[in-house]
Amino acid sequence: MRIEISPAALKDLVQQRDRAASFVKTSTGIKVRSKKSTQIMDSKYQHLLQSIYDGVLIADLSGKITDVNIRALDFLGHDRDELLQMNVVDILAGAEKTLLSALRDNLQNERFALIQAYCIRRDGTFFPAEIAVNLLKFADPLMCFFLRDISLRKEAEEKMITSFNAIQNAGTGIAIADVDGRLTYVNPSFLRQWGIHDQNDVLHTDLVRLWQNDTHAGEMVRAVLNDLVSWRGEMVAVRADGSSFESEVSATPNFDSEGDLVGMVLSVEDITNRKRAEEGMRLAEQHRAMLASLGAACHHLGQPATVLLANLEMLKQDKFRESEVFSEIIGLSCEAAERIAEILHKMKEVEEFRTTRYISTTGDSDLPTNRILDL
């Protein structure tokens, strides 16, 4: 049997500690504790009771506390005399006398009952507790309550729940794989990225199969699980319907509390839109460069073409054939021709279109009209 008692509000918990203990008659047919049973137990019993690690409350079938150990006094902040005037339900937040009836009925057939409840201290504060209840079948039956403060466990559980909810609600796909690279957990975002409706369709799957390039994905798994290093990169993922999307993956080794490797954790972001935006910007820059290419050709070819034309014009005149500058003119013409050929070759081989300022001035020098192809 398992019973959970949680306080509705803090003010209710404070009120609980002030309730007066009362005796409740029962009609279960079980004997109510007699006066003879209230006598002090022998020394062996007391030694055993006081050495128990958990807080212990001994109560009759009505819930009236008849004996306690030191650990219970530490938990609850009461002295022994105060607790012996109280009922068990006085220290359990939200508990009613009907709880005792349910416990009595259950313990007739079961070895113990387990209660998850909040216990109220003498100062009005409270703590979460796990309470195991046994029935001591003496001539006058007694109930034995073993209290354990589970504050640290509750805190750890709440942190785990918070972490789990954060992972479940994360916009990034998150997955956990075992040491064999097989998926053991995926969050909803991961399922949406791959177009999977039921997580059972992907659990225990070799995660390498989720990406288009098996070799690249295999390198990721080996780096994380064999070399125990973090890995980050971009890969093309393949959805359940065969379509694909660009993904950025971050993978790290997953260790347990003892420091042993238990697998790997992956964070996956769909970067398809980002890739499209980058491609759009590249195409836009290419388009702008293509529009600027005519002006660039005029700029880069203008000077050598002018030199070449001027030299050729001078060569038309007979007087220069016997001149000392004839060879110089021929040399300059050749250089200009080679420069034109070089520029034409560069323009043919251009793969990345970049622009630069045509005139380096202040003010509006970065306007599109003042930019030409950068060779």
Q: Are residues 146 and 176 in the same domain?
A: no
Q: Are residues 302 and 338 in the same domain?
A: yes
Pick 353 or 52 by higher pLDDT: 52
Answer yes or no: are the C-beta atoms of 18 and 130 closer than 8 Å.
Answer: no
Give me the pLDDT at residue 346, please: 72
Task: Look at 55-64, 80-89, 161-170 and tell me which has the smallest mean pLDDT.
Answer: 161-170
Q: Are residues 185 and 92 in the same domain?
A: no
Task: Look at 55-64, 191-200, 263-272, 346-355 and tell me which has the smallest mean pLDDT.
Answer: 346-355
Q: Are residues 321 and 251 in the same domain?
A: no
pLDDT at 161 over 50: yes
Q: In CATH, what number is assigned to the domain containing residue 216?
A: 3.30.450.20
What's the burial of 290, exposed, middle or buried (CB within 10 Å: 0-12/13-18/19+)?
exposed
Share the mean pLDDT of the chain: 79
Q: Which domain holds residue 357?
A: 276-373
| Residue 354 to residue 372: CA distance in whole angstroms | 8
Q: Pick from 224, 232, 229: which is nearest to 267 by CA?
A: 232
Q: Are residues 66 and 113 in the same domain?
A: yes
pLDDT at 184 over 90: yes
C-alpha count within 13 angstroms, C-beta hemisphere, residue 301: 15
Given 239, 270, 301, which residue is the final one in a domain?
270
**Does residue 162 lie in a domain region?**
no
**What is the pTM (predicted TM-score) of this model?**
0.52
pLDDT digits (tens, 9 = 90+) for 234-288: 999 999 999 999 999 999 999 998 899 999 999 999 988 888 887 778 777 776 6
Given 106, 126, 155, which residue is the final one in a domain?
155
**Does residue 163 lie in a domain region?**
no
Q: Are residues 105 and 205 in the same domain?
A: no
Q: Are residues 63 and 38 in the same domain?
A: yes
Q: If DSSP codes are grouped into helix, strand and coil, which group holds residue 323?
A: coil
Give me the pLDDT at residue 16, please: 46
Count how many domains the chain has: 3
**Does residue 192 lie in a domain region?**
yes
Q: Are residues 11 and 70 in the same domain?
A: yes
Neighbours of 291 (CB within 10 A): 12
Please provide residue 143's backbone torsions phi and psi, each rounded to the nearest 5 degrees. Answer: -105, 135
Total residue length of the chain: 375
